[in-house]
Amino acid sequence: MPPSPAISTILRWPKSIENIIANKLPSITKLSSIRFHAVKNNNYTLKAVITKSDWARALLGIPVELHDTLTINSQLSDRGKTLNADIFAPNITYDNRHLKKM
């Protein structure tokens, strides 16, 4: 059974992000595993409010601890080859460094 449309869309996000990186930094394709992938013209909007960080270390290996709510508002456009993200992290610890008003 093919994945649902929502799952298919989520699975295309990394390819869209790699395409934007490859477009802005063409030589990176020679220095890393980043490659251009043919995808349809995807446009995504992501809005998230994150209150817990325990999963980030367990699933993604990200050394972060949230002490307050983290907010993300982002837009990705394949056609415009752009990724815009506003991330507000008022109080976090990243890699044993305490950061405020990020």
Q: In what order do the strands lie in the sheet with 70-77?
A: 43-50, 70-77, 82-88
Tokens standing for 33? 């595993």
pTM for the model: 0.59
Q: Which residues of the chain have pLDDT under 70?
A: 1-13, 39-40
Q: What is the pLDDT of residue 59?
A: 74
Instruction: Annotate 11-75 with DSSP letters as a single string.
Output: HHHHHHHHHHHHHH-TTHHHHSS---------EEEEEEEE---HHIIIII---EEESS-EEEEEE
